[in-house]
Amino acid sequence: MKELDPLILLAVFQEMLGTPLLALLVLLVVGGTLAFAALLWREGKLVATRLVRCQLLGLAGGVLALVLMAKVSSSGFTDAGGPADWFLIAMVFGLGAIGTTVIGYATAGWLLRGQTTSQSR
């Protein structure tokens, strides 16, 4: 494979996850990113306490991403043989943790929006 084709990656992800789960994950990523960006634009800053709490939630999201990876792949963690395998496992954990942190921050920001403004007055 000499070049990286996005359509091939899409076909591989669709084969591994199935169309409904892939569509759900794509909608979750796009929606979470847009909600996070809109919240940052509205508030104009990051709220440190909310971010730290959501980073703790992100650890659980990283573990859930690893569980999802183990479910949809034909191999387990004991089959990881080389550095590339362990790098991929670390990437899956990291992306799951970051995604969960961003989505959790956006969700907490929009749901608790009225409580934080009333406390600061």
CA distances, 93 to each of 57, 59, 111 (Å): 13, 8, 26
Closest CA to 54 of 116, 115, 102, 113: 102
- Residue 33 domain flag: yes
- Residue 93 domain flag: yes
Q: What's the rounded Cα separation, in Å, for the pair 40 and 35?
A: 9
- Residue 1 domain flag: no
Q: How many domains is the chain built from?
A: 1
- Residue 71 domain flag: yes
pLDDT at 115: 64
- Residue 121 domain flag: no
Report mean pLDDT in 10-residue bins for the chain, 121 residues. Answer: 75 80 89 95 92 95 90 72 80 92 95 61 43
Number of other residues whose CB lies within 10 A of the CB of residue 106: 22
pLDDT at 55: 95
Q: What's the rounded Cα separation, in Å, for the pair 99 and 84?
A: 22
Structural domain of 79: 6-114
- Residue 16 domain flag: yes
Check if the beta carbon of residue 111 is closer than 8 Å to that of residue 50.
no
- Residue 119 domain flag: no
Closest CA to 61 of 21, 96, 106, 107: 96
pLDDT at 121: 43
- Residue 77 domain flag: yes
Residues in the chain: 121
What does pTM read for this prediction? 0.78
